[in-house]
């Protein structure tokens, strides 16, 4: 069992001129193994900033609060240490890794996280199985990571990574964006497999409610203006689908 505790997290982005622009103004959230939390909010509300801050992206400066994974200070860890500790981030815009094949990338990542190379024989089968379950052509294993991948292929590759790395806590940033209905279903099935193993806690960041028809969240948090403005169960997602974010956005603007 694992627990990620985010307490009153405050984050600024470092602008090119060196100035700090505050984005997150006190985020508090606890995610446990086996739970699925959806973070929903309009564009520009700071959802990706939260994801990058948890992963340790250097562009974001933590100005207050704390993040603990099973009681251990995540903010003091390097990006690598966070991954080894069991944090996984599927980015909104996955990056290309020229000259590195999918097969090598995944094996290197698995080795880094487990502290030892996976057994050659079982690994080949695991990789093949994970790719098949996400309906990826086996030829993909030889392609360079994300180079020329379609939006859907990038997202499938992220989910293959997640299935193979078995993180304690996975943060999926707009994994649904840019997917057609078939890809959304396949990707959602992959997420549900990971969720159903009971060992991974999921933080599902999304702008649209449609992925929540396939992946049922236990908790929904509405994110506006760099903070959580409402929380509830799955029924809150239905309300957002019907009403949108407008009333939260106006309330946040009025409070400024």
Judged by CB under 5 A, the number of residues near Mg ion is 4
Burial profile 112-140: b = 16 or more Cβ within 10 angstroms, e = fewer: ebeeeebeeeebeebbeebbebbebeeeb
Report the C-alpha gap between 33 and 95 in whole angstroms.
Answer: 27
Q: Interacting stretch for Mg ion, rule CB under 5 A, among 3-11, 91-99, 125-133, 164-172? A: 91-99
The residues near 251 (Cβ < 8 Å, ≥ 6 apart) are 229
Cβ distance to Mg ion smaller for residue 50 or 164: 50
Q: Decide if residue 49 touches Mg ion (CB under 5 A).
A: no
48 forms part of the interface with Mg ion (CB under 5 A)? yes
Among ligand ADP, Mg ion, none, partner that 209 touches (CB below 5 to 8 angstroms by kind) = none
Nearer Cβ to Mg ion (48/188): 48
For ligand ADP, which is the closer residue by CB, 14 or 119? 14
Q: Which is nearer to ligand ADP, 79 or 117 (CB)?
A: 79
Residues that bind ligand ADP (CB under 6 A): 13, 15, 21, 23, 41, 43-49, 59
Angle value at C-alpha 40, between 215 and 209, nearest 5 degrees: 45
Return the closest-CA partner of residue 231 out of 5, 29, 68, 3.
Answer: 29
Q: 3-state DSSP call for residue 191?
A: helix
Per the structure block, which two tokens stand in for 127?
């990789």
Please check whether residue 144 is in contact with residue 100, taking contact to mean a CB–CB distance below 8 angstroms: yes
The reply on whether position 43 binds Mg ion by CB under 5 A is yes
Does residue 36 belong to the site contacting Mg ion (CB under 5 A)?
A: no
Nearer to ligand ADP, 122 or 256 (CB): 256
CB 146 to ligand ADP: min, Å: 19
Query: Would you tell me which residues interact with Mg ion (CB under 5 A)?
Result: 43, 47-48, 92
């Amino acid at each position: 069992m694992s627990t990620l505790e985010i307490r009153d997290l405050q984050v600024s982005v470092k602008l090119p001129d060196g100035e700090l622009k505050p984005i997150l103004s006190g985020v508090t959230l606890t995610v446990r193994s086996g739970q699925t939390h959806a973070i929903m909010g309009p564009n520009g509300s700071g959802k990706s900033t939260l994801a990058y801050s948890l992963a340790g992206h250097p562009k974001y400066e933590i100005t207050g609060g704390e993040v603990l994974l099973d009681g251990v200070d995540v903010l003091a860890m390097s990006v690598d240490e966070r991954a080894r500790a069991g944090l996984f981030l599927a980015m909104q815009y996955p990056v290309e890794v020229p000259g590195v094949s999918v097969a090598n990338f995944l094996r290197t990542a698995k080795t880094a996280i487990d502290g030892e190379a996976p057994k050659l024989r079982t690994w080949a089968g695991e990789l093949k199985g994970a790719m098949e379950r996400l309906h990826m052509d086996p030829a993909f294993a030889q392609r360079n990571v994300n180079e020329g991948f379609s939006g859907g292929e990038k997202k499938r590759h992220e989910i293959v990574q997640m299935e193979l790395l078995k993180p304690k806590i996975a943060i999926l940033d707009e994994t649904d964006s840019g997917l057609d209905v078939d890809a959304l279903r396949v990707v959602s099935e992959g997420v549900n497999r990971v969720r159903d193993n009971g060992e991974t806690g999921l933080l599902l960041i999304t702008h649209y409610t449609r992925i929540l028809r396939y992946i049922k969240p236990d908790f929904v948090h509405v994110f506006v203006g760099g903070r959580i403005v409402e929380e509830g169960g799955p029924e809150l997602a239905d309300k957002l689908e019907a009403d949108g974010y407008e009333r939260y956005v106006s309330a946040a603007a009025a409070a400024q």
